[in-house]
Every structure is written in structure tokens, then in C-alpha cells.
């Protein structure tokens, strides 16, 4: 994927920039309120003329030396001390091209860059002044084939109540000759179906971990499609551009395939087409990678309502059966109690009727003695 010449020229003007702030930015006591601090850099030829490049890009062999130039400009309103150096590149957590901190020792291609034989060069520039700086890239004899990314940085530190470092950079790539292996892979691919009230709608959220397991920096384009029973297509075709992934780096992306109906199941497919960035040299044939993921595309909300309804009906039936059983047991117990009470009453009456009634016995009168 190469940029058009106009886009490359625009890219040369819109260079990568990073600003590190330590606390709140406060003006030094002797600074004027309208003073500004600004830096600009760009690849140039030996005469200091811009040549349309958006990056420093070299193809070289192990042991070869490459010379080039960068223009550094004080774009602010006050004199500025600028330090020019190189540092290592990597992909941050979001997958963006990033450069290591200024105080970290240069490694890889950044360690091959020198300015007048030194790892860094300090310039004092007047307001609006530009300076063309020569530098050399000394590729080691044991350098491995492939892309070695770095960045040429112009850094200015202003002192005040707090210290503020401003950095601006242009990317630098050294492609060492040898066995080039452009290889973007999908190292992890998962899918999760999300349904709604409408059974004819839904979406599949896919998450992919994409790794550059080769030795060439690559961009990429992902395409999502879906299919269901008998290979019938479902979902709205979705495409997305990947930022450049450096060799050995990984990025994780998530996309939605919308318009997947709730028809039982669906297969989501990701197609990854590798590409090259900007004016990077062509590494040859680029790989195309495909991964599939199976998801259940069920109407979970309606099913949930049905399950709750059926569950409620069974609960009601159980409750009614329990109430009927308790009522029957209560009736049987009441009847048994009434029967037992009746039997006890009958026994008492029968016992009273069959027992002899004791009559009082009259005492015989005592006779008087005859005289």
C-alpha cells in the first residue's frame, strides 16, 4: 500500500511528534507571555533542500555505511538549544509507532547512528534559524536481514519552575539485505455474539491479536465476513486498516460484524492482507492470512423470556400442587380428628349406659330390749 506522491509530501510535513510534560507547564520568570518554543525537522539532501521523503529509509548490506542529512529548525520565537540523536522504535499498547525515552541507551538501528562520530549533537539556534545536520548510519557486519526501525529526534528542554522536554522525530528504517520474511500472523482470534430483541439483527464482536513474526515492517487490511447454514452470507462486510506493525511487535484489535441474524449459528471469517507503508521498499510477495470463529447466533432475549415463562408456569403448577396437597392433608386430618372425637364421645356414652347404678341401702333400725 504505497502513498501517492502528494500524500508522501504531506507526510513529510506532518512528522511524528511526542511531547513529555513533567507536571504543569509554567513560564520562566524572564520569559515573555507571547514567547513560543517550537522545533521542526525534515529529511533533506546535502544542500539542505527537502526532497519529498516522509522518512529516512535505506537498503544496505551488513558492514555498509550510509550518510544522510536532516534539517533542524527553530520554529519558536526565542533562541533554542536543540539536541539531535536517534532512539529505538516500537509499537505501543495501542499499536502506534513510538520511540523510547531520551535517557534510554540507544540499541538496534538507533545505536548505528552517529553525528560527527558522536551519538548526539547539540545545536543553538536563533529564532527561525535552520541548520542542516549530517549523520552516518554504520551497519554492523553481523546485522541480521530485514527492517531495523528507529527514529531521528530533535529535543529541546526548557528550564523554569518545572522542566519541559519537547521532542519531534522522523522515522528511520534500515533494511539490511538478506532473506526477507514479510509475515503478519493472527496469533489469536476469538468471537462473541451479541443478540437483541430483534431476532433478525445482532452483531459478532471479534478480537484478534496480530503479530509481526517476520523481519519486515508491515501494515495490513482486515476484512470481516460471516456465513451460516449452507454457506449463506450474513452480516455487513467490514474492512479496517491496521497501523504499521514493526518486526517482533504485536497489536490487538476488536471489530464488530453487524447485521448477523439470530439463526442458530454463524461463522465469522477474518482475512488479513499485508501491505507496506508509505515509501518503504517492496519486500516481495506479501502473505494473506485467514482465521474463522464459530458462534451461536441464538435469540437469547426471546429464549430468556420463554425460559422465564416456562419456569414461572412450572413454579405455579408446583405451588398449586403443593397447596392442593396441603389442603387435602388438612381435610384428612380434620376428618380424622372429628372421627376420633366422635368415637371418644360414643365410648363415654356407652360406658355410662352399661354400668349398674348404686342404690342407697337403708339402715335397719336397732331394736329396743324387752323389759
What is the reported pLDDT for 71?
96
What is the reported pLDDT for 301?
66
What is the reported pLDDT for 322?
87
Q: What is the spatial distance between Cα 17 and Cα 97, in angstroms, rounded to a whole number?
A: 11
* Ordered per-residue pLDDT tens for the chain, 371 residues: 444 444 444 343 333 433 333 332 333 334 444 568 889 999 999 999 998 888 999 999 999 999 999 999 999 888 999 999 999 999 998 889 999 998 888 889 999 999 989 999 999 999 999 999 999 999 999 999 999 999 999 999 877 667 788 899 999 999 999 999 999 999 999 999 998 778 888 999 999 999 999 999 999 999 999 999 999 999 999 999 999 999 999 999 999 999 999 999 999 999 999 998 877 888 888 989 999 999 998 876 666 677 888 888 898 889 888 888 888 888 888 888 888 888 888 888 787 776 555 555 555 555 544 44
Q: What is the pLDDT of residues 110-123, one digit of tens each?
A: 999 999 899 999 99
258 in any annotated domain: yes
CATH code where residue 96 lies: 2.60.40.10
Task: Say whether both 28 and 107 belong to one domain.
Answer: yes
136 in any annotated domain: yes
Task: Say whether both 214 and 293 belong to one domain.
Answer: yes
Strands (E), 22-79: 39-44, 56-60, 65-74
What is the reported pLDDT for 115?
95
240 in any annotated domain: yes
Q: What is the spatial distance between Cα 24 and Cα 232, in angstroms, rounded to a whole number?
A: 58
What is the reported pLDDT for 366?
52
76 in any annotated domain: yes
Last residue of a domain, one of 123, 144, 176: 176
Last residue of a domain, one of 138, 155, 176: 176
Task: Say whether both 150 and 224 belong to one domain.
Answer: no
Quickly tell me which residue has 504543569 as its cell.
Answer: 24
Q: What is the spatial distance between Cα 267 and Cα 293, in angstroms, rounded to a whole number?
A: 6
- The three cell numbers of residue 8 are 508522501
Task: Say whether both 140 and 233 belong to one domain.
Answer: no
CB atoms near residue 362 (< 10 Å): 6
Helix or strand run (H / E) with residue 333: helix 300-354
265 in any annotated domain: yes
360 in any annotated domain: no
Q: What is the spatial distance between Cα 203 and Cα 191, in angstroms, rounded to a whole number?
A: 10
What is the reported pLDDT for 274?
94
Task: Say whether both 162 and 191 belong to one domain.
Answer: no
Task: Say whether both 192 and 169 belong to one domain.
Answer: no
What is the reported pLDDT for 7?
43
- The three cell numbers of residue 323 are 397447596
Task: Say whether both 171 and 188 belong to one domain.
Answer: no
Q: What is the pLDDT of residues 142-180, one digit of tens each?
A: 999 999 999 999 999 877 667 788 899 999 999 999 999
Report CA torsion sign: 142, 245, 20, 81. positive
Last residue of a domain, one of 113, 141, 176: 176
Task: Say whether both 201 and 167 belong to one domain.
Answer: no
User: How many CA atoms lie within 13 Å of 227's alpha carbon, on the beta-carbon side?
Assistant: 8
112 in any annotated domain: yes
Residue-wise DSSP of 19-34: EEE-SS----TTS-TT
Residue 303 φ/ψ, nearest 5 degrees:
-60, -40
Residue 343 φ/ψ, nearest 5 degrees:
-65, -40
Task: Say whether both 94 and 239 belong to one domain.
Answer: no
What is the reported pLDDT for 337?
84
Task: Say whether both 17 and 43 belong to one domain.
Answer: yes
353 in any annotated domain: no
What is the reported pLDDT for 21?
30
Q: How many structural domains is the chain composed of?
A: 2
Task: Say whether both 166 and 224 belong to one domain.
Answer: no
SS3 6: helix
Q: Which domain holds residue 66?
A: 5-176
Task: Say whether both 158 and 12 belong to one domain.
Answer: yes
Those residues whose C-beta lies under 8 Å from the C-beta of residue 90, and which sit 6 or more positions away, are 98, 99, 100, 246, 249
Amino acid at each position: 500500500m504505497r502513498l501517492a506522491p502528494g500524500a508522501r509530501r504531506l507526510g513529510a510535513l506532518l512528522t511524528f511528534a511526542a511531547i513529555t510534560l513533567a507536571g504543569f507547564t509554567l513560564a520562566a520568570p524572564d520569559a515573555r507571555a507571547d514567547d513560543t518554543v517550537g522545533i521542526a525537522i525534515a529529511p533533506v539532501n546535502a544542500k539542505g533542500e527537502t526532497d519529498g521523503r516522509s522518512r529516512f529509509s535505506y537498503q544496505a548490506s551488513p558492514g555498509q555505511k550510509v550518510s544522510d542529512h536532516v534539517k533542524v529548525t527553530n520554529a519558536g520565537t526565542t533562541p533554542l538549544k536543540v539536541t539531535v540523536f536517534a532512539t529505538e522504535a516500537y509499537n505501543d499498547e495501542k499499536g502506534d509507532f513510538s520511540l523510547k525515552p531520551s535517557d534510554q541507551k540507544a540499541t538496534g538501528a538507533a545505536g548505528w547512528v552517529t553525528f560527527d562520530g558522536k551519538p548526539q549533537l547539540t545545536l543553538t539556534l536563533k529564532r527561525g534559524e535552520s541548520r542542516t545536520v549530517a549523520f552516518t548510519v554504520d551497519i554492523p557486519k553481523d546485522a541480521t536481514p530485514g527492517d531495523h526501525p528507529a527514529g531521528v529526534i530533535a529535543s529541546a528542554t526548557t528550564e523554569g519552575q518545572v522542566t519541559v522536554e519537547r521532542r519531534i522525530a522522523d522515522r528511520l528504517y534500515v533494511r539490511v539485505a538478506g532473506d526477507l520474511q514479510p509475515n503478519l500472523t493472527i496469533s489469536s482470534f476469538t468471537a462473541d455474539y451479541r443478540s437483541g430483541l430483534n431476532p433478525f439483527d445482532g452483531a459478532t464482536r471479534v478480537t484478534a491479536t496480530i503479530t509481526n513474526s517476520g523481519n519486515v515492517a508491515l501494515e495490513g487490511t482486515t476484512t470481516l465476513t460471516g456465513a451460516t447454514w449452507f454457506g449463506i452470507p450474513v452480516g455487513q462486510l467490514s474492512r479496517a486498516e491496521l497501523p504499521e506493525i514493526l518486526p517482533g511487535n504485536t497489536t490487538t484489535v476488536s471489530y464488530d460484524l453487524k447485521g448477523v441474524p439470530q439463526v442458530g449459528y454463524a461463522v465469522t471469517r477474518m482475512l488479513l492482507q499485508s501491505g507496506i507503508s508509505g515509501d518503504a521498499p517492496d519486500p516481495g510477495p506479501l502473505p494473506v492470512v485467514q482465521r474463522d470463529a464459530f458462534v451461536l447466533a441464538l435469540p437469547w432475549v426471546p429464549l430468556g423470556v420463554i425460559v422465564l415463562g416456562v419456569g414461572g408456569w412450572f413454579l405455579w403448577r408446583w405451588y398449586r400442587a403443593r397447596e392442593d396437597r396441603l389442603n387435602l392433608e388438612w381435610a384428612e386430618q380434620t376428618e380424622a380428628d372429628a372421627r376420633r372425637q366422635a368415637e371418644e364421645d360414643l365410648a363415654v356414652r356407652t360406658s355410662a349406659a352399661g354400668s349398674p347404678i348404686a342404690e342407697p341401702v337403708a339402715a335397719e333400725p336397732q331394736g329396743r330390749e324387752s323389759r
